[in-house]
Amino acid sequence: MDRIYFDNAATTPLDPLVLESMMPYLTEKFGNPSSIYSYGRETRMAIENARKSVAKILNARPAEIFFTSGGTESSNTAINAAVYDLSCKRIITSPLEHHATLHCAEYINKIGIVEISYVKILSNGHIDITDLERLLEESKEKCLVTLMHANNEIGNITDIEAVGNLCKKYNAIFHSDTVQTVGHYNFDLRKLPVHFITGASHKFHGPKGVGILYINENIKIHPFINGGSQERNMRAGTENLYGIVGFAKALELATANHETDREYISNIKSYMQKKLRGNIANVYFNGDYDGKSLYTVLSVAFPKTEKSEMLLFNLDINNICASGGSACSSGADAGSHVIRAISNDLNQITVRFSFSKYNTKEEVDLVVEKLKGMI
Ligand SMILES: Cc1ncc(COP(=O)(O)O)c(C=O)c1O
């Protein structure tokens, strides 16, 4: 059986058109963008065009877009800046955040620089917005609120406009990890009340190792990585030129085909839901899977049996790629902090299936057929 890739929340395959756009910068257009001669001017131009294109799509200003090495660096930059440059003394976050956020916030807390508070989680995996307001209201210090737009493990989508408005009311800084939604949802950053958002192109058929950090123009911070004057003195280091070109192209393609891709992928997700329900007894879905949820992610709780304990292993030997939790921790097998936070049912085995425009219903049929024998 050919490999079936149902782990698109971990990463996606590169779109051939993205590769094509990157190729000249991997070959003949190799100049350092900081060089003043023609080779350098040509690659500098490519970066600035990429920035303009990304800014236009997100309805931001080019000066608000900074290229980074990915979601992790972008979130680390924003969180550190909020604490060290913007005087935030308390971080309000949730136990469901990606480790790029949680571990960064917890480290700054551990070294005694900030207090940390976790917003309550409702039974459907959404944050309790009333509790968020309580935390903001009770805080005597300036707060950084860092809450993700969509959860990479269960798919839940948070109303970041509502969160942003609360932050405005209480004069808090708002950072949102939007790694799972940039390239999948439309953003209007002129209107969205947010100070920082993040993106990583490998989540929407772009290259790995390149991301963006949006910094609202009213915010003035120091660089997180010090060195040369790249990215207008905000992020030192020779630019990932072909990555940046690929980021912009991937975002352009994702945006142009958004409606079609969204409908196609949503159908695959609901088809898999139906097939699982029809074929496997006592199957559950985590989070708000039918409501405010990513159309790409389906987190499935299978009943725990002697056989199903080997589920991930069995999927792998059957050439089916899926994740037990967050892809970024797969292999470590520490269990998922997200699943632990929403459910303490030890009699379930969770598998995250996540889809892209390259998946088909035939693949779903094959996977469900195989799963029947594995439970
Ligand atoms: C929600 C979320 N945030 C942050 C990251 C980290 O992004 P990167 O791997 O590009 O650093 C990921 C990657 O899985 C993610 O899903």
List, for residues 74-92, the tens digit of each pLDDT value.
999 999 999 999 999 999 9
How many CB atoms are located within 10 Å of the residue 190 CB?
10
CA distances to 245, 264, 281, 375 from 48, rounded to whole Å, are: 10, 33, 54, 52
State whether 117 and 219 are in the same domain: yes
Which of 256, 275, 296 represents a domain boundary (last residue)?
A: 256
Predicted confidence at residue 343, as pLDDT, reads: 86
Predicted confidence at residue 307, as pLDDT, reads: 83
State whether 80 and 139 are in the same domain: yes
Ligand 1 centroid, distance to 179 Cα (angstroms): 6
Contacts of 223 (CB under 8 A, 6+ apart): 77, 233, 234, 235, 236
pLDDT score of 135 more than 50: yes
Which of 72, 156, 175, 354 has most ligand 1 atoms within 8 Å of CB, for mutation?
A: 72
Please name the residue whose Cα sits nearest to atom 4 of ligand 1. Answer: 71
Buried b (16+ CB within 10 A) or exposed e, 73-105: bbbbbbbbbbbeeeebebbbbbebbbebbbebb
State whether 364 and 302 are in the same domain: yes
The answer to whether the CB of 154 is under 6 A from ligand 1 is no
User: Which atom belonging to ligand 1 lies closest to the Cα atom of 200?
Assistant: 10
- Which of 79, 136, 76, 100 lies closest to 337 in space, CA to CA? 100
Residue 347's CATH number = 3.90.1150.10
DSSP state of 92: E
End-to-end CA distance of the chain: 20
Predicted confidence at residue 344, as pLDDT, reads: 75
pLDDT score of 325 more than 70: no
State whether 245 and 342 are in the same domain: no
Instruction: Report the pLDDT averaged over residues 85-104.
Output: 98
State whether 290 and 184 are in the same domain: no
Q: What sign results for the dihedral spanned by CA atoms 354, 356, 361, 365?
A: negative
State whether 193 and 307 are in the same domain: no
State whether 39 and 136 are in the same domain: yes
Ligand 1 centroid, distance to 98 Cα (angstroms): 7
Token pair belonging to 321: 């790629």
The answer to whether the CB of 179 is under 6 A from ligand 1 is yes
The answer to whether the CB of 180 is under 6 A from ligand 1 is yes
Number of domains into which the chain is organized: 2
pLDDT score of 50 more than 50: yes
Alpha helices in 194-284 (DSSP H): 230-233, 241-256, 258-279
User: Which atom belonging to ligand 1 lies closest to the Cα atom of 74?
Assistant: 11
Please name the residue whose Cα sits nearest to atom 7 of ligand 1. Answer: 71
State whether 263 and 276 are in the same domain: yes
Query: What is the Cβ-side half-sphere exposure of residue 179, based on CA atoms within 13 angstroms?
Result: 32
The answer to whether the CB of 276 is under 6 A from ligand 1 is no
User: Which atom belonging to ligand 1 lies closest to the Cα atom of 9?
Assistant: 16
Higher pLDDT, 85 or 335: 85
Predicted confidence at residue 334, as pLDDT, reads: 61
Predicted confidence at residue 332, as pLDDT, reads: 41
State whether 118 and 225 are in the same domain: yes
Predicted confidence at residue 329, as pLDDT, reads: 42
Token pair belonging to 138: 């009770």
Which of 203, 227, 256 represents a domain boundary (last residue)?
A: 256
d(CA 121, CA 128): 6
State whether 146 and 271 are in the same domain: no
- pLDDT, one tens digit per residue, over 224-281 is 999 999 999 999 999 999 999 999 999 999 999 999 999 999 999 999 999 999 999 9
User: Could you tell me the residue range of the domain that residue 140 belongs to?
Assistant: 16-256
Strands (E), the chain: 4-5, 65-68, 90-93, 115-118, 143-146, 173-176, 196-200, 211-215, 284-285, 297-303, 320-321, 348-354
The answer to whether the CB of 64 is under 6 A from ligand 1 is no
Which of 204, 234, 256 represents a domain boundary (last residue)?
A: 256
State whether 210 and 340 are in the same domain: no
Ligand 1 centroid, distance to 327 Cα (angstroms): 9
DSSP state of 150: B
Predicted confidence at residue 359, as pLDDT, reads: 98
The answer to whether the CB of 327 is under 6 A from ligand 1 is yes
User: Which atom belonging to ligand 1 lies closest to the Cα atom of 326?
Assistant: 14
- pLDDT, one tens digit per residue, over 136-195 is 999 999 999 999 999 999 999 999 999 999 999 999 999 999 999 999 999 999 999 999
- Least reliable range by pLDDT among 26-35, 121-130, 292-301, 334-343: 334-343
The answer to whether the CB of 152 is under 6 A from ligand 1 is yes
What rounded mean pLDDT belongs to the chain?
95
Q: Tell me the catalytic residues.
A: 328
